[in-house]
Amino acid sequence: MTVMKKFFSLLLAVALALPALANEGMWLPLLLNRNYAEMKEMGLQLTPEQLYSVNNSSLKDAIVSFGGFCTGEIISPNGLILTNHHCGYSAIQSHSTVENDYLTDGFWARSYGEEKSNDGLFVRFLVRMEDVSERVNTELTPEMTEAERDAKIAEISKQITEEATDGNEYEANVKSFYHGNEFYLFIYERYNDVRLVGAPPSSVGKFGGDTDNWMWPRHTGDFSLFRVYTAPDGSPADYSEENIPMTPKHYLPVSLDGVKEGDFTMIFGYPGSTDRYLSSYGVKQAIDKYNPTVVKIRDRKLEIMKKYMDRDHATRLAYASKYAQTSNYWKYYIGQTEQLRNNNVWAKKKVIEEDFQKWVNAKPARKDKYGETLTLLEEAYQESDNYVEGNVYVLEAGLLGSDLTLFAFRFERMMQAAFATREEMEEKMDAAEDDEQRQLVKEEYEGKVNAIMAGINETVEEHFEGYNRQMDQERFAALFQMYYDNVPQNQWPEFFNIVKDKYDGDFYEFAEEVYEDSFLTSKEGVMEYLEKPKEKTLKKDYAAMAGRQLYVIYRSGAEAHAGTDAKMERGYRLLTAGLREMNPDQNYSPDANSTMRMTYGTVGSYYPRDGVFYDYYTTAEGILQKEDPDDMEFVVPDQMINLIEQGDYGRYANSEGELPVCFISNNDITGGNSGSPVINAKGELIGCAFDGNWEAMSGDIFFEKKLQRTISVDARYIMFVIDKYAGAQNLVDEIKLVNSNNEPMVDSKDMPREAKEVMN
């Protein structure tokens, strides 16, 4: 392409980008008829039944909830799952050793027999969803307290789910929408045999690391591959060598057409949580108190972890997943706080609330119904301001601060169950009338105790695998010291007073004694204790004491602040209902709550700030521009460098000879959508979503129409890595590759040299 042609292409891209506004809304597939006309106008070529159907194969049947924390999609007739590298990170880590470091080197199964099973990993397919709002709401009255209302909702929801799962193996739950104004039933089929199939090295799948996280432009191949297995008859089953690859109801063909500015895109997935109805009071609390507290604690936690991970390869492998999880939302809260300020979200919320209050005051009936709304929210946040930071410390620095604290709590809880079961057995044996009855009691309860002990042993093995005691001791000391120094004494756990009196408030000195004396700080100590377990020993142990007391604070906080929580719950229910009544022509989408949603939009460039323009896609050239062999986040494998330098992209190059790596669209996603398929107007996979953009990180609270972007790995880069980089021909053959005209897919090596040139 000549320079002049490129110039006009750029002008066209800019012109198309100007009016492109992000499309707010994470929509329930059941209700897509409300949006279908707009989707059709934007380019969708499928019918509503092809998107969501209970009786026939549809797109929803190719989408899975991956482990309950991410999304995946079926991309072959043999149950192959595509998701993000960071979603599969923990599974990849679990199979990695110093000798076989799959995190660093990647992993590719060349046959079914090489695919690796993953304990505890599951996927769920949505069978159907149903609006049960009328059934629930008819049982609720305005006179009910929030506690009474919650209890009644739980009671009815239990009845509904029991009816839905009677006589089948499905799972079901009823979820609240619009802050308790509507209710929907979701029925799922769960599969527990999910095996690792392929993963690029972290230098591809995590390229850019924390530096590039939440940023555009991006050059990250954030994908991994798994497979669902079933029993020989096709039914869900736990892992067995007899299991076979799943035959799905629907799978997504992979398009090699790529994307261009303005192309229609839709994303199916399981977004975790948004807070779009958050009040101005909530925004202020997030900026001033909640977010900075999380960031401050995680700053210190990450600093300590990185110090020890950099020293030792085995520790780096063992803690890689924990570090990544901690780091991801550490940067998220930094970005959200910054953009809440930059995008002036508090002021935008105030405008909405002022308009709402004017509307309420306009009619006596509205004042009767909604008059207390904003007062309830203001009072609730004034009250919660006093303890919100303490709540963060309980979790972030307490229960989740060091590995020891949470392990000690879990261990003691399981041991208490074992002690209680033994005690019950002894009582029943004493009451037995003869030896035969005593033997039956003994057999019954020994089985129960053995099951509990097996669970304890499993927990112990998991906890101490790769455990770095020295690192954990420093985290224990440093994070509890922060807790002690920053939280009022009336919100301390009781053992803090022991540290205050006995150790002059020095948690480093306290930690030395705990890690020296507690049997819970070593596997040998725990196993020795289990030979002759005593309740008294466990009760006196400082580590067990810390876990127990922190959990009590965590649970008792809900009881202590029940009145405040009730005000907040009622305030948001009224605000949400009132806004929808005030604007009847506006199609409000419900907040994300880990249920299946569909969002639609278009591919689009944007202006992040004055004088700066971001194009809608990146290419492999950018990988070499970022490459830095001295920075672990930007190391590029030699093989990848060679392929890019040679322009050896195969059929995955675009018409200009470039290898697209990532692209952006204005779809509405959030955490939980990681791994979601980006689908074109014909129902074909064009990418895998993995991130949002920095400038719109306030988007979970207030959707930024001009800025909000979803960052996705281009399907062509995914296939390039599988094919040209990994040489996994077995996987290439399994995936259905399509293009718009069924034309031969030209290999980039056969293109004229000038077609490969990239404008500097």
Closest CA to 203 of 728, 719, 721, 618: 721
How many whole angstroms from its chain centre is CA 551? 24
In three-state secondary structure terms, 377 is helix
Strands, DSSP E only, in 561-679? 597-602, 606-609, 612-614, 617-619, 660-665, 677-679
Neighbours of 683 (CB within 10 A): 20
Paired sense of beta strands 254-255 and 737-738, if any? parallel
Neighbours of 621 (CB within 10 A): 17
Contact indicator for 666, 710 with CB cutoff of 8 Å: yes
| Polymer length of the chain | 760
Task: Choose, from 53, 65, 85, 86, the residue flagged as catalytic.
Answer: 86
Phi, psi angle pair for 259, to nearest 5°: -130, 155
Contact indicator for 662, 217 with CB cutoff of 8 Å: yes
The 3 state secondary structure assigned to 467-536 is CCHHHHHHHHHHHHHHHHHHCCHHHCCCHHHHHHHHHCCCHHHHHHHHHHHCHHHCHHHHHHHHHCCCHH
Buried b (16+ CB within 10 A) or exposed e, 337-376: bbbbeebebbebbeebbeebbebbeeeeebeebbebbbeb
Task: Choose, from 212, 222, 263, 472, the residue flagged as catalytic.
Answer: 222
Cβ within 8 Å of residue 63, ≥6 positions away = 71, 72, 73, 74, 125, 126, 268, 269, 596, 676, 677
Bridge partners, 603 (sequence order): 665
- CA-CA distance, 273 to 671, in Å (whole number)? 7
- CA-CA distance, 465 to 567, in Å (whole number)? 45
Inter-CA distances, 335 with 214, 398, 696, 704, Å: 8, 24, 9, 14
Express the helix, strand and coil content of the chain in percent, nearest 5 each: 55, 15, 35
119 is catalytic: no
Bridge partners, 665 (sequence order): 603, 710
User: What angle in degrees, to the nearest 10, is found between the helix axes of 542-560 and 403-431?
Assistant: 90
Cβ within 8 Å of residue 529, ≥6 positions away = 519, 537, 538
- CA-CA distance, 533 to 747, in Å (whole number)? 67
- CA-CA distance, 670 to 335, in Å (whole number)? 14
Phi, psi angle pair for 497, to nearest 5°: -70, -30
Sign of CA dihedral 729, 732, 738, 739: negative
Neighbours of 610 (CB within 10 A): 5
- CA-CA distance, 15 to 262, in Å (whole number)? 11
Neighbours of 196 (CB within 10 A): 23
131 is catalytic: no
In three-state secondary structure terms, 637 is coil
Contact indicator for 745, 651 with CB cutoff of 8 Å: yes
368 is catalytic: no
The token pair that represents 352 in the structure block: 């909405």
Contact indicator for 28, 5 with CB cutoff of 8 Å: no
Task: Choose, from 255, 605, 674, 748, the residue flagged as catalytic.
Answer: 674
- Which class for 531: exposed (0-12), middle (13-18), buried (19 or more C-beta within 10 A)? exposed
| Residue with tokens 């059709």, as numbered in its chain | 40
Quick one: which H or E segment has residue 711?
Answer: strand 710-714
Residues carrying an active site annotation: 86, 222, 674
